A and B are shown apart, each in its own frame.
Chain A
Amino acid sequence: MIPGKYRSVSGRAANNVNCGLHLVIQTSPLPEKNKVRFKKVEFKLNKDTSSFPGRLLQHDLERNYSSRQGDHINLVSSSLSSFPILQRSSEEKILYSDRLSLERQKLTVCPIINGEDHLRLLNFQHNFITRIQNISNLQKLISLDLYDNQIEEISGLSTLRCLRVLLLGKNRIKKISNLENLKSLDVLDLHGNQITKIENINHLCELRVLNLARNFLSHVDNLNGLDSLTELNLRHNQITFVRDVDNLPCLQHLFLSFNNISSFDSVSCLADSSSLSDITFDGNPIAQESWYKHTVLQNMMQLRQLDMKRITEEERRMASVLAKKEEEKKRESHKQSLLKEKKRLTINNVARQWDLQQQRVANIATNEDRKDSDSPQDPCQIDGSTLSAFPEETGPLDSGLNNALQGLSVVDTYLVEVDGDTLSLYGSGALESLDRNWSVQTAGMITTVSFTFIEFDEIVQVLPKLKIKFPNSLHLKFKETNLVMLQQFNALAQLRRIDQLTIDPQGNPVVNFTLWKYYVLFRLSHFSMQKINGTEVTQNDMIMAERLFGILAHVASSELPQYRLISILGDARKKQFRYLLESKGKKPGIINEENNDSKRLVGENTNRATLNYTTRDFYNEKLEEIKEKKKFCKTYIEDLVKEATEINMKNEALQKLWPQMFIELVRDAVIEIRNKNSYMKLCLQQITDQK
């Protein structure tokens, strides 16, 4: 029976002043293992310096003696063995038959203790003992205190089958071992050692308190079998994850302060422990996170105390609210990442198509005459089977995500993206999107248009649409658009205005030319561009451009015969009108505006207006058309020539023959008139015959 005044309720070590070490002092057989009772006693080894039994003894002593017990002990060194032999006066032996304190005796080894086989409490605190020895005879020992020594290995305890309290704090123990026979162990204190692994304790089914603070543990597992454990102290280790705690049916107090836990996942087993009510995480990285408190509370509904503070209802409520918000955020970001992934896959798809197209072109160009077939026949269709090649490009993906996206990517061969003020088009299919009904607001906001993986020649054809639908687009970007000739820049002249031009070297060989920037500045001088490829355009640049190509412009305007000027400009105008004529039916109002616009077009730097760009396809088409005409002209001229030569021949022949003919004519006439009379008769005859 435990006297009431000796019961302590809250269990703080400081309250142990009047509390006796009841289990030990009682001479009656050890009470039934009764959890409830033991809980009230509270062997709380909170502080690292847990010298509980020692202190108890101290107080005991103080009650009864004024001097330390140690004074009455004699250690006689024997010449026979290297161990000192302990001797006590028989008076003391009777008074303290069950306890012996050898605290601070400067012991380096355990002395041989003879004739004290009834000892129950043995105190070796604050010595220099390196090995546990010479105590195998003390088989009634219940508490052994070796706090603050130099013990490197747990050994020599195999006979102490009654041991209930083993205090080995502040030693040099590297491994938990040799505890097999200590099946009654109730308190095991190994704080302040060098232990790296929890092992060899699975048989300690009566262990209630385990202190492994200030060791070198990096993780917690292997705790099964500790069916009585209520308190586990793991402070000041290097623990990164915790397992097996849910296998401890009685665990109530778990101290994980000052470790290396950074996410709740690494201690997820705690959520499954129904007995845990008190836990500390302070000093871990996890405690710094914004979501720390409510995540812990959400996952461990059974908690009553966190980091030594009670958990209020209010806190719990807040925790659930916050947890819900986190869930929302996660879902949102998951959706975002799904979208991003889809975009990325689409772009990859487009890039792939582009590459194949380019390779095709290269093959055709090398096989056939370059002039004839530079344009690829059809854009290749990518079917689902090629998607299997994608995994190497997609990188690490959730398998769930991957599955969800498989279906999407096959269809998407182009991508249109509007991001604030930028319109991005990937793949030639995207050009059709310019036809969409863009809201005036959205379209008005677009200042940058970026083209990727689209043939420049195709872009040229939609430039008029761009001009109309996105009137504020001032910055054009081209990447992988096959810009190969300076001429192609001529096509940009038809736009209303460009402030900035970015030609990405990737996929645009024209950038390798030394003169490309100057040509752009020259041809598009009426735009007075601010920047090319991110660099400011300086006055010197403009001058250089003019200097290099000014004469070209001069030649192209004033030296061309008038009819050619007209026909070239006429062609350009016609192209402009083509698109407008198509949309004529829809919005008549715009036509007038466009008329004015193209009149202005003609007015634009006309000395270089003749520098046009016709896409290869159109050019070849035109040449084909001309072939017929040429043939006709050839035959026509040939006919003319034939006629002329015939006439000439006839003329020449006449020239040759004429003298002879003339002579003959004259001769005939003279012969006829030689005889006047017969000639007169002949004439008269002819006249009468005629009647």
Chain B
Amino acid sequence: ALSPRLECNAQRHVLTYMEDAVCQLLENREDISQYGIARFFTEYFNSVCQGTHILFREFSFVQATPHNRVSFLRAFWRCFRTVGKNGDLLTMKEYHCLLQLLCPDFPLELTQKAARIVLMDDAMDCLMSFSDFLFAFQIQFYYSEFLDSVAAIYENLLSGKNPNTVIVPTSSSGQHRQRPALGEAGMLEGVEASLFYQCLENLCDRHKYSCPPPALVKEALSNVQRLTFYGFLMALSKHHGINQALGALPDKGDLMHDPAMDEELERLLAQVPGLVNSVTASPEASCLPSRTPPRVGSPWRPLHHSRKVDGESDGSTEETDESET
């Protein structure tokens, strides 16, 4: 049974998709009218379920719903996992470039914030690994509004203002430390963990945007007495439970695994021109049968028709793991 608030959310998001579908219809009237409107709607909502609806869409749509965000994260992971697997460390700008390949107007700001989490707000030109960046980016992107509020709270706490002075729970006063005097706060780094958590809990209650499950947040904070803002974010990004709750990305250990895509990749690799024949002036002729042409008028289905399975590549995993440079 969904709580009324969640149900309301879901309803609102359905409307979002409805609006977007109608908008897409309007934009591509000529093309879709040949296609059939009923089929269009079917495809549209199927793609929403599949999570492919956000591909190459504008940022305002990509961030519009939590489901969109999850889909986007997942798409990014799937498309660029190979980059991570290759072991390349990239700069923030380059990751941003990759993001832009999927979403042309993705704002640099968000990528920067994500990078700050990984680099602990230091040396923004540093290289980052794929997994570090991805998990930090996930937190930043999915919970961006939440994080903004958290930042405000953190600032307040740092400067000694406790927004929750009115609501100090007396029952847990045992674990509740004495609020540090202003001068003391300046000398110690960051803020006190449990106090911080209480503020967060209150935030989660009132926040209309998605928040990480409070229990998991508590878990993330359980080991520390004090923490900084970026330390907190880092803890969030590394927390497996939160990742699983989000449901977009696999566990860190499995980040590079995607057997289905690897298989697909092997098939593609087998068709690299040069392996087959020397390329002539009309490369498209040789490529045409092996690539996926857009087929108008056929029922929607990922097309896995016959591909040349070259004798050379068995799809053996050794080949994919070898880095060929």
Q: In the complex, A567→B294 CA distance in Å?
A: 11
For the complex formed, measure the closest distance between the CB of A566 and the CB atoms of chain B, giving whole angstroms.
5
A371-B105, A485-B100, A554-B268 known; A562+B90 contact, CB < 8 A: no
Contacts of B302 in A (CB 8 A): 558-559
A550 at interface by CB-CB < 8 Å: yes
Contact across chains for B294 and A569 when beta carbons are under 8 A apart: yes
Residues 529-568 of A at the B interface (beta carbon under 8 Å): 539-540, 542-544, 546-568
Contact across chains for A606 and B294 when beta carbons are under 8 A apart: yes
Contact across chains for A641 and B15 when beta carbons are under 8 A apart: yes
Contact across chains for A528 and B279 when beta carbons are under 8 A apart: yes
Q: In the complex, A455→B264 CA distance in Å?
A: 38
Contact across chains for B75 and A562 when beta carbons are under 8 A apart: no
Residues 498-550 of A at the B interface (beta carbon under 8 Å): 509-510, 512-515, 525-528, 539-540, 542-544, 546-550
Contact across chains for A633 and B23 when beta carbons are under 8 A apart: yes
Contacts of B274 in A (CB 8 A): 528, 539, 542
Q: In the complex, A634→B79 CA distance in Å?
A: 32
Residues 604-643 of A at the B interface (beta carbon under 8 Å): 604-607, 610-611, 614, 619, 623, 626, 629-630, 632-634, 636-637, 640-641
Contact across chains for B284 and A605 when beta carbons are under 8 A apart: yes
Taking a contact as CB atoms closer than 8 A, the residue among B19, B265, B291 that contacts A606 in the complex is: B291
Contact across chains for B31 and A607 when beta carbons are under 8 A apart: no
A611-B101, A629-B26, A633-B23 known; A562+B269 contact, CB < 8 A: no
Q: In the complex, A33→B2 CA distance in Å?
A: 136
Contacts of A324 in B (CB 8 A): none
B229 at interface by CB-CB < 8 Å: no
A526-B283, A559-B50, A610-B56 known; A551+B264 contact, CB < 8 A: yes
Contact across chains for A560 and B55 when beta carbons are under 8 A apart: yes
For the complex formed, measure the closest distance between the CB of B37 and the CB atoms of chain A, giving whole angstroms.
10
Contacts of B264 in A (CB 8 A): 550-551, 554
A562-B43, A562-B296, A566-B296 known; A603+B272 contact, CB < 8 A: no
- The number of chain A residues touching the other chain, given as a range, is 35 or more
- The number of chain B residues touching the other chain, given as a range, is 35 or more
For the complex formed, measure the closest distance between the CB of B72 and the CB atoms of chain A, giving whole angstroms.
12
Contact across chains for B56 and A568 when beta carbons are under 8 A apart: yes
Contact across chains for A547 and B265 when beta carbons are under 8 A apart: yes
**Which of A526, A550, A600 has the largest number of chain B CB atoms within 10 A?**
A550
- For B251-285 the 0/1 string (1 means CB < 8 A from A) is 00000000001001100110011110001011111
For the complex formed, measure the closest distance between the CB of A546 and the CB atoms of chain B, giving whole angstroms.
5
Q: In the complex, A493→B7 CA distance in Å?
A: 46
For the complex formed, measure the closest distance between the CB of B163 and the CB atoms of chain A, giving whole angstroms.
30
Contact across chains for B28 and A543 when beta carbons are under 8 A apart: no
For the complex formed, measure the closest distance between the CB of B60 and the CB atoms of chain A, giving whole angstroms.
8
For the complex formed, measure the closest distance between the CB of A36 and the CB atoms of chain B, giving whole angstroms.
91
Residue of A whose beta carbon sits closest to that of B75: A555
A546-B268, A561-B47, A562-B296 known; A487+B104 contact, CB < 8 A: yes
Contact across chains for A637 and B19 when beta carbons are under 8 A apart: yes
Q: Classify the interface of chain B: helix, strand, loop or mixed.
A: helix
Contacts of B219 in A (CB 8 A): none
Taking a contact as CB atoms closer than 8 A, the residue among B32, B272, B293 that contacts A546 in the complex is: B272
Taking a contact as CB atoms closer than 8 A, the residue among B15, B88, B101 that contacts A552 in the complex is: B101
B188 at interface by CB-CB < 8 Å: no
B324 at interface by CB-CB < 8 Å: yes
Contacts of A512 in B (CB 8 A): 91, 93
Contact across chains for B269 and A543 when beta carbons are under 8 A apart: yes
Contact across chains for A563 and B15 when beta carbons are under 8 A apart: no
Contact across chains for B281 and A562 when beta carbons are under 8 A apart: no
29 contacts between A and B (CB under 8 A): A485-B97, A486-B97, A486-B100, A514-B89, A514-B94, A526-B284, A528-B283, A544-B86, A546-B268, A546-B272, A547-B82, A550-B265, A555-B52, A555-B78, A556-B55, A556-B56, A557-B292, A561-B43, A561-B52, A563-B32, A563-B43, A566-B296, A567-B27, A603-B287, A604-B283, A605-B284, A610-B56, A633-B20, A633-B26
Q: A539-B275, A546-B268 are in contact. List 13 more A-B contacts (CB 8 A).
A: A497-B281, A515-B83, A539-B272, A544-B324, A547-B324, A557-B292, A562-B295, A563-B28, A563-B31, A563-B44, A566-B28, A570-B28, A623-B58
Interface on B for A, CB 8 Å cutoff?
Answer: 15, 18-20, 22-24, 26-28, 31-32, 35, 40, 43-44, 46-47, 50, 52-53, 55-56, 58, 75, 78-83, 86, 88-91, 93-94, 97-98, 100-101, 104-105, 107-109, 261, 264-265, 268-269, 272-275, 279, 281-285, 287-288, 291-296, 298, 300, 302-303, 320, 324-325
